[in-house]
A and B are shown apart, each in its own frame.
Chain A
Amino acid sequence: MSVLVDWLEMLAEQVRQWGRFSIFTARLFAVTPRALLRFRLIVEQLNNTGARSLVIIMLSGLFVGMVLGLQGYDLLRRFGSTEALGTAAALGLLRELGPVVTALLFAGRAGTSLTSEIGLMSATDQLAAMEMMAVDPIRRVCAPRFIGGVLAMPLLAAIFGLLGILGAYLVGVVIMGVDSGQFWSQMRSSVELKDVVEGIVKSVAFGLACSSIAVFEGYYAVPTAEGVGRATTRTVVVSSVAILALDYMLTAALL
């Protein structure tokens, strides 16, 4: 009997977690317009989440593009249409790989740092101190980080896509010998503005999801060393699942 009660309690805790998340994001959105006025804080977070992720994003983009070039070349060679490599690489990167891999890397690189930072602030009573001074910690601490993350994501995804196309070009044209003119002209004739927009819409959605999850987990972390560690792990796990689930839904909606 007590097992059943435990189960029900766990279920109720999960439901409560969803409720907390919903209320938290609602508060986050409510303070966003006023937080936008504190421009310097947002720039600082844009540096923290965006500029500092630049190296990992650029390197990953280049390598993902190179792999895509190699795999795409091998696949297309079997059909005798290696000229379509540019199209395949560009569409794959712009619509799917760019936003998704960027978001996964973002969750690992920037999401964890947001969660642990806010979690540690709460563990060292900094958030409580702010409340004592009548400063809303959601508005002062959480919102700028959230906004910074949402702004950084599409820019990072665009850089990732561009470097990826460069990587595919490097492998396909320079190493494998696909005709350079064919590569670009086929790409340009078949990629449409719609495809780029799909990538941007996706990365904005992933930015909203990743940033709100990271900030939420940090804000509600158990204020101990162990609790902050757990919250950081949960950020990565929950963000990754959310990204992949959202990706399926957005692809189905936008296709």
Chain B
Amino acid sequence: MRQTRAVEFSTGLFVLLGFAALFFLMTQITSRGLSLSETSYHLTASFENVGGLKVGAPVSMSGVTVGRIESIQYDATIYKAVVKLAIRTQFDHIPNDSDAAIYTAGLLGGQYLGLSPGGSDVFYKNGDTIQLTQSAIVLEHLISKFLFDKAGQGDSKSSTGKTP
């Protein structure tokens, strides 16, 4: 077998380059390449309407991501959507009267869950339920409300104008 040092070198270079590229793609390009080693605790919160919230969406406090949405289910007994959150264990100082609200990041951005801290001295622990929640703002509801208001105003104005 004619297996010169040059062949060994180029093969080795190829394999090393390939694995380096794979490693780079897996760790540097992705958002949570090492999320498997992360430990977290769970909270639940129920909402009237979760809007476009998706599993895997970030949970943030003051704009910092502290966890992820783990599951979204519909509870047929309370007629609400039950959202399960996984919060990283390093953020274990969240007061247990903090409230959760669903916001939209940017105009076309995805929705996320924002926690705003309350004033309690007792902190949330694994398995707790967030009591104070605020549903997602559905843009269509907002627009239709606005339009109906406008239409109502227009009607009253025109009727007063025509009957002097």
B-binding residues in A (CB < 8 A): 40, 43-44, 46-47, 50-52, 54, 81, 90, 94, 152, 154-156, 158-159, 161-162, 165, 187-193, 195-196, 199-200
Contact = CB atoms under 8 A, between A and B. Distances in A.
A191 B22 CA distance: 14
Contact of A196 (B10, B30, B108): B30
A14 to B, nearest CB: 37
A155 B7 contact: no
A40 B7 CA distance: 11
Contacts of B7: 44, 47
17 contacts: A40-B1, A44-B3, A47-B7, A47-B14, A81-B108, A154-B22, A155-B21, A158-B25, A159-B17, A187-B29, A189-B31, A191-B29, A191-B31, A192-B31, A192-B32, A193-B30, A200-B22
A249 B64 CA distance: 39
Interface in B78-109: 108
A50 B1 CA distance: 19
Contact of B24 (A50, A52, A162): A162
Contact of B11 (A51, A190, A191): A51
B144 interface: no
Nearest to A43: B11
A156 B3 contact: no
Interface of B is mostly: helix
Interface in B25-68: 25-26, 28-33, 35, 56
Contacts of A189: 31
Given A94-B29, A161-B25, A193-B26, A46 B14 contact: yes
A164 to B, nearest CB: 11
A51 B14 contact: yes
A195 B25 CA distance: 10
Contacts of B56: 192
Given A81-B108, A161-B21, A190 B14 contact: no
A47 B14 CA distance: 8
Interface residues of B, number: 26
B18 interface: yes
Nearest to B28: A188
Nearest to B33: A193
B164 to A, nearest CB: 49
A40 B35 CA distance: 38
B103 to A, nearest CB: 16
Nearest to A155: B18
Given A50-B11, A51-B10, A81-B108, A158 B22 contact: yes
Nearest to B18: A155
Contacts of A191: 29-31
B151 interface: no
Contacts of A199: 25
B156 to A, nearest CB: 39
A40 B3 contact: yes
Nearest to A47: B11
Nearest to A51: B14
B148 interface: no
* 10 cross-chain pairs, A with B, having the tightest CB-CB distances, nearest first: A155-B18, A51-B14, A158-B21, A47-B11, A158-B22, A162-B21, A51-B10, A159-B21, A50-B14, A193-B30
Given A40-B1, A154-B22, A188 B17 contact: no
